[in-house]
Amino acid sequence: MTKKVDQIRNVALVGHSGCGKTSLAEAILYSAKSVNRLGRVDDGTSTMDFEPEEIKRKATLGTAFHPYNWKNGRFNLIDTPGENDFISDTKICLQAAEGTVVVVDAVDGIRVGTEKVWGFAEEYSLPRVIFINKLDRERADFYKILKEIEDIFSINVTPIYLPIGAENDFSGIVSLITLQSYLYKNDGSGSFKDGDIPGPMAETVDTWREKMMENIVEVNDDIMEKYLDGQQISPKETEEIFIEGVKSGMVVPVIPGSALLNIGVKHLLDIIDQVLAFPSERGKVKGHKIRSDEDVEFDALDDAPFSALVFKTLADPFAGRLNVFKVMSGKISSESTVFNSTKGVKERLGQLLSIEGKKQTPIKKAGAGDIAAVAKLKETATGDTFCIEDNPVVFDAAQPFSPTISFAIEATEKENEDKVYSSLAKLMEEDPTLKVDRDQSTSEIILSGTGQIHLENTRDKLKRKFGVEINLKTPKVPYRETIRSAKEKIIYRHKKQTGGRGQFAEVHFDIFPLERGEGFEFKEALTGMNVPRNFVPAVEKGIVEAMRSGVLAGYPVVDLKIRFYDGKSHEVDSSEMAFKIAASMCFKKAVQEATPILLEPIMSIEIRVPEDVMGDVIGDINGRRGKVLGMDTEGKHQIIKAEVPLAEVLRYSFDLTSITGGRGSFQMKHSHYEEVPAQLADKIIAASKAETS
């Protein structure tokens, strides 16, 4: 049986954008001697933020990985994005973690990104350690942030270290367990000296140590009884129930520090090593059979059957497509054949790779808990499961967030249009939150993503990786046209004589409106032989082609029925083309006489907001001609369900962020079409005519 100490553990750094996760990652790797210099995000020298777009924005835009060793433990560090546009990647990559370090800014405190990643950790039942960062900054306040954490997350925070000094005077930490102080050098080296508790801190230390003990003893009834009886709790007992409490999620330890000055980082590494569960301690690996809900489970050990989850894809300019996977159970070697149970195909793995920031290092094998990558697989995509064919399992992978914003895109150079499609296809392999569609009615290519920064970043990547430049434009609204009333006996004669054989066709139509969403119905009701039946398909084709451009503003025509009941023909001059032209012109005449109206797409929208801004959001929806259909409560959030015209919410992600301070989110999908109010219809029709004139 595999020894627990031989297993690697994966720890994710999570938090709001700008809280210092990547700076902490740099300090961790430097302190663990995985890198020989302390990289800085602001200088563009970071090991973990290496993409040009990340260096330009000074922000993590995609999850990065790097192994490190500490004491006798092996770890994979997972540095995740905190920017809302890229937070879907954070949730997906947390599937590979055994625990999280939640990084909180000592000045800005808990922000919307912190709340979101906290929710992800809860959803996956991941133990959490909180690192309060930037305590060297002006206005940093450790105790204020502790109170904020308690209030917002409804937990009893358990600091196990307290800061010595604040702002410019922040110089070290005091352990509430060992009752020692650790004074750090101010040079970023991470070096410190042990000492006694500073005299002025004695009372504060006593108060918080008591609070720490009260939180820890709640984990074990016997120890709690002993504590309440006033009996001494031994250091060994304290350590055991502390570790048990963190692994179970009952205790959330807090550590003060500064990633930039490398203060508190080595103590954080000790805590991670102590409390982070091994994969084998996290319970059995659970999946289900292929095309079945029947459960399958394995031990997360090397000697169990092999299984792995592909949780990320990277588009590497040199290695091609890289699939990143976590070995959930068993082990795998380079040059092995595995079964992709999601796709039902075998895949030949080439060289296994360990990811170290922007570098990949060849490895011979990967065991339970390991994160590895492999290049150039034919069928495999993010979310797929690897296993052995005679012991199959499928894992339910986390789904990417739905797009919230769309832009119409066009290549800056016409000859690059095909290349835009193929290049975007490669980026979509790497980024499952990207979507590309062609709107048939407007002929625009629509690129959708999770925010403006996301799509601007995609534009920058297209240019850098594939040499393709695009413009982003607000997409056109795909309006439709229809009729309000029925009209009978519409007659149109097409006659053209130019010497020799001419053109002749006459058609008689009735036109009727249909219910919304019913499309188009063509009914042939001819009697007698005025029109030979072989011309009927040409008549229908003429109508269908005419429906592509309506009489009001040139939008497609929908939801009507044409009854073709009579006509006239000429034995020499009639032809399919003549009847097609006659049908097209008769259709336009019929629509014109049947009270044509303009329709607009209505979106079904579900908005998740904190209760204190609910009134503002509802008022805003009403101001957008929206209808609120209902509300639900989900924890501290309100879910508003509404229907809103698409024209009013093309840039809703910006507006919701403004109204809610970034704390709101929404999902939107097409619902149906409704008539545009007359005064707005006039403006749309006038704008369309001006555009085509």
DSSP codes of every residue in 309-344: EEEEEEEETTTEEEEEEEEEES-EETT-EEEETTTT
Q: Quick check: 427 and 461 in contact, CB under 8 A?
A: yes
- Backbone region of residue 90 per phi and psi (left: phi > 0; alpha: psi in -120 to 50; beta: other values): alpha
- Rounded Cα gap, residues 527 and 170, in angstroms: 96
Q: Which residue has the tokens 């939640």?
A: 102
One-letter identity of residue 420: V
- Rounded Cα gap, residues 689 and 9, in angstroms: 64
Hey, what domains does the chain have and what are their CATH numbers? 4-281 (3.40.50.300), 285-387 (2.40.30.10), 405-473 (3.30.70.870), 481-594 (3.30.230.10), 599-692 (3.30.70.240)
Give the pLDDT of residue 1.
Answer: 33
pTM here?
Answer: 0.83
Query: 194 is written with which tokens?
Result: 């042990």
How far from the centroid of its chain's Cα atoms is residue 455's Cα? 13
Strand partners, 125: none
Q: Which of 608, 662, 607 is CA-nearest to residue 637?
A: 608
What is the rounded radius of gyration, in angstroms, for the C-alpha atoms of the chain? 32
Give the pLDDT of residue 578.
Answer: 94
Buried-exposed string 20-47: b where 16+ CB fall within 10 A, e elsewhere: bbbbbbbbbbbbbebbeebbbbeeeebb
- Rounded Cα gap, residues 519 and 540, in angstroms: 14
CA distances from 331 to 68, 99, 363, 368, 622 (A): 20, 22, 13, 6, 57
Q: Please name the residues in contact with 348: beta carbons below 8 A apart, sequence gap of 6 or more.
A: 335, 336, 337
Q: Are strands 371-375 and 320-329 parallel, antiparallel or unpaired?
A: antiparallel
How far from the centroid of its chain's Cα atoms is residue 47's Cα? 24
Q: Are strands 560-568 and 627-634 parallel, antiparallel or unpaired?
A: unpaired
- Rounded Cα gap, residues 234 and 177, in angstroms: 11
Query: 222 is written with which tokens?
Result: 């016997």
Strands across the sheet containing 470-473? 435-439, 444-449, 405-411, 470-473
- Rounded Cα gap, residues 41 and 47, in angstroms: 9
Please report the DSSP string for 153-173 in residue order: HT--EEESEEEES-GGG--EE
Handedness of CA 212, 215, 216, 217 (dihedral sign): positive
φ/ψ of residue 183, rounded to 5:
-95, 120
The C-alpha torsion from 335 through 338 and 343 to 344, rounded to 10°, is: 130
Query: 618 is written with which tokens?
Result: 């509802």
Cα angle 142, 143, 146; round to 5: 90
Q: Are strands 596-610 and 560-568 parallel, antiparallel or unpaired?
A: unpaired
What burial class does residue 409 get, using C-beta atoms within 10 Å of its C-beta: 0-12 exposed, 13-18 middle, 19+ buried?
A: buried
One-letter identity of residue 563: R
H helix or E strand, kind and range, residue 11: strand 8-14
**Per-residue pLDDT tens for 325-355?**
999 999 999 999 999 999 999 999 999 999 9
**Per-residue pLDDT tens for 573-591?**
889 999 999 999 999 999 9
φ/ψ of residue 112, rounded to 5:
-60, -40
Give the pLDDT of residue 317.
Answer: 60
Residues in the chain where the model's pLDDT stays below 70 = 1-5, 316-319, 498-500, 693
